[in-house]
Structure 1
Amino acid sequence: MTFTAEVKDELAHLKPSRRCCRLAELSALFHLEGVLHVLGSHRLAVHTESENAAVARKMFQYTKELFSVSPQLRVEKAPRLRGHNCYCLYLGEEERTAQILNELCLMDNSLRPVLGIPERLIRRHCCRISYLRGAFLGGGYISKPDQPAHLEINVQHDEMANDLRDLIERFGLAFHVNKRHRMQVVYSKSRRDQVTFLALVGAHRAVLRLESDAVLREIREDVNRRVNSETANLERAVDAAQRQLRDIRLVEDHAGLEMLPAALREIAEARMRYPEASMKELGGFMHPPISKSAVYHRFLRIHHMAEKMV
């Protein structure tokens, strides 16, 4: 199951208690997944298709509970889904179909399609949240936690896309609209807005998954940074030790270590005895012990002497 399917499955099992909230959620679902058929003589029918059984079941239950009608629910094999099940909900030539569509704000009193989101459907704060939940269930997609953040809702009309973006922005989230083929896409690439949106519509398990993955990713990145830093430090230390040994051998071959001042001879002999020791460790071998800075300056003096012997 994809992460999008997991999120939709979680949201499909949320059932708000208020009738107005269920109405708003069902309206969004029909708006994004429904196809309206005008049969003539003011007769109407509408059907929807969903890949998710829980979403289709929710639409069936809401339609039955809110309007006391029993739509048909069929399971078909969809070629576009590579033979996977597609759940088709069909609200046929009921006498009340036009009234139902009007109450869902999908058609106005003149039986013309409503392309945007009527304000009367989302007056309450709870209804706005329910509408967004239905919109994601109907046309939403979210990237996997280990991929770059991307959340989108696909809609058919400009009016719907702009209204949906404006509705989301009421909650302080920055979403954008872009055209893709024949669809309008309302989207965000912000991980923060992605998490906030999911928490808003009630996908709390998905939020925990995203946040735990983010923590694990941060830990892995921190460990990698530390390992890379320590590896780089080790490589620099090895390179420095090799340069110091070359300088010492050059001085030894040309003049002998006996000609070095006592302090320089002591550090040179320590480096030859402990070729893998760090600067700090070499400082501890001195009598008395000296700092890393003092060790560095002793090797610098040896280096200047070696340069003159080349």
Structure 2
Amino acid sequence: MSFAQQLKQEIYEARPTERELKIAQAYGLLLFSKNFSKQAISIQTEHEQTARLFCDYIIDLIGIKTSILYSEFEKKNGSTIFTATVEAEEDRVNILRFFGHSSDDVSLRINMQNIQSDKGLNAFITGVYLVCGNITDPKKNYHLEFVTPHMHLCKDLITLISSVLETPKLTQRRSAYIAYLKESEAIEDMMTYMGATSCSLQLMNIKIYKDVRNKVNRVTNCETANIEKTVTAAAAQLEDINYIFAARGIDFLPDDLRELAELRADNPEMSLRELGEALSTPLTRSGVNHRLKRLSNIANELRQKKPAKRS
């Protein structure tokens, strides 16, 4: 089961039992379904329990039974789509009237008479999410959205959500209007508000894991860069030292530089700090770096004095 399916399943299992709250959730579920008008009232979803809840609410709250057509079909990708449709026009009109909508009203807006309390608002939003909400797998990205083809409904929903939670942003995708959240904290709050505390905790754990992994990667990348930098610098230092030894011999150098040159030649993997600690008279990292620069300058001076080869 995907994370998106887990979330809807947890919301479904926390569905209300009080009539007032059942009405509020049923209203959100039907109003934001595929169709909610005199011409058609229907739902289409990949979550079986949501489709069955659609039917149950119509039967339990409004008393309509015979004209509900329930079906399911499998898509080419293997997923199953569940649909429920109210076939009789008379029943569709009764449903609209039950929720205070005129059968002639084509501009859908949220009727606040169906949301009588803070708990009612909670139930309404969970109903809306069940039918038109979706969430991206938090292992990949943080994104929770509500999708509807009706602009006014989307704006009304944003206004209601903003009264209790962070205000969702609004965008348009082709012919659909989307209210969405992209901040992990806001998504956690939304899931907790909808009663999906297990999914909220799961997202928190995923976020902690991702943060730790990112920190480890940053440290590893930094350490790798430092190792590469050390290796490159050591190679250049060895080249200078070997050139000095070949051109003038080891005794050409003063005692302090000769000791460091021999130590570096024998230990190309050592860091500057380790070189400093290994000297007979320990030096700081800065002191070792200063002596290595002196060796580099000597090598460069010898290279410049080297006679050009005759053609």
TM-score (structure 1 length as normaliser): 0.87
**What residue number does 2:43 align with?**
48
Does residue 125 of the first structure (1) align with residue 118 of the second (2)? yes
Which of residues 52, 58, 75 in structure 1 aligns to 2:53? 58
Q: State the Cα deviation string for residues 10-35 of structure 1 (Å, max 9, x = none).
A: 21111223322211111111111153
Q: Distance in 2 between matches of 1:59 and 1:198?
A: 21
**What residue number does 2:239 align with?**
246
Q: Distance in 2 between matches of 1:104 and 1:69?
A: 14
User: Does structure 2 conserve the Cα–Cα contact (< 8 Å) formed by 1:26 and 1:104?
Assistant: no
Which of residues 191, 203, 222 in structure 2 aligns to 1:210? 203
Question: Identity over aligned residues, as a percent?
Answer: 27
Which of residues 70, 87, 94 in structure 1 aligns to 2:65? 70
Match of 1:276, SS state, is: coil
Which of residues 113, 135, 158 in structure 1 aligns to 2:128? 135
**What residue number does 2:221 align with?**
228
Which of residues 80, 94, 117 in structure 2 aligns to 1:84? 80
Aligned ranges 1:125-204 → 2 under 5 Å:
125-204=118-197
User: Does structure 2 conserve the Cα–Cα contact (< 8 Å) formed by 1:56 and 1:89?
Assistant: no
Offset, 1:177:
2.2
Look up the equivalent residue of 1:222 and give its one-letter code: K
Does residue 8 of the first structure (1) align with residue 46 of the second (2)? no
Moved more, 263-272 or 8-17: 8-17
Which of residues 253, 272, 277 in structure 2 aligns to 1:279? 272
Unaligned 5+ runs, structure 1? 40-44
Q: Distance in 2 between matches of 1:36 and 1:224?
A: 50
What is the total number of aligned residue pairs between the two structures?
302
Offset, 1:79:
5.7
Look up the equivalent residue of 2:25 and give its one-letter code: E
Q: Distance in 2 between matches of 1:228 and 1:37?
A: 58
Q: Distance in 2 between matches of 1:228 and 1:120?
A: 58
Q: Distance in 2 between matches of 1:76 and 1:276?
A: 67
**What residue number does 1:42 align with?**
none
RMSD, matched Cα: 2.5
Look up the equivalent residue of 1:264 and give its one-letter code: L
Offset, 1:182:
2.5
Look up the equivalent residue of 1:52 and give its one-letter code: H
User: Does structure 2 conserve the Cα–Cα contact (< 8 Å) formed by 1:8 and 1:137?
Assistant: yes
Look up the equivalent residue of 1:277 and give its one-letter code: M
Q: Distance in 2 between matches of 1:112 and 1:222?
A: 55
Offset, 1:50:
2.9
Look up the equivalent residue of 2:294 and give its one-letter code: R
User: Does structure 2 conserve the Cα–Cα contact (< 8 Å) formed by 1:156 and 1:183?
Assistant: yes
Moved more, 158-167 or 67-76: 67-76
Match of 2:170, SS state, is: strand
Match of 2:147, SS state, is: strand
User: Does structure 1 conserve the Cα–Cα contact (< 8 Å) formed by 2:22 and 2:123?
Assistant: yes
Q: State the Cα deviation string for residues 206-265 of structure 1 (Å, max 9, x = none).
A: 212222211111121111111111111111111111111111122222222212221111
Q: Distance in 2 between matches of 1:84 and 1:119?
A: 34
Which of residues 266, 276, 288 in structure 1 aligns to 2:259? 266
Match of 1:33, SS state, is: coil
Offset, 1:138:
1.0
Does residue 26 of the first structure (1) align with residue 34 of the second (2)? no
User: Does structure 1 conserve the Cα–Cα contact (< 8 Å) formed by 2:99 and 2:111?
Assistant: no
**What residue number does 2:98 align with?**
103
User: Does structure 1 conserve the Cα–Cα contact (< 8 Å) formed by 2:23 and 2:61?
Assistant: yes
Match of 2:140, SS state, is: coil
Q: Would the alpha carbon gap of residues 78 and 288 (structure 1) be closer, same or farther in structure 2, given more than 3 Å must change?
A: closer
Look up the equivalent residue of 1:30 and give its one-letter code: L
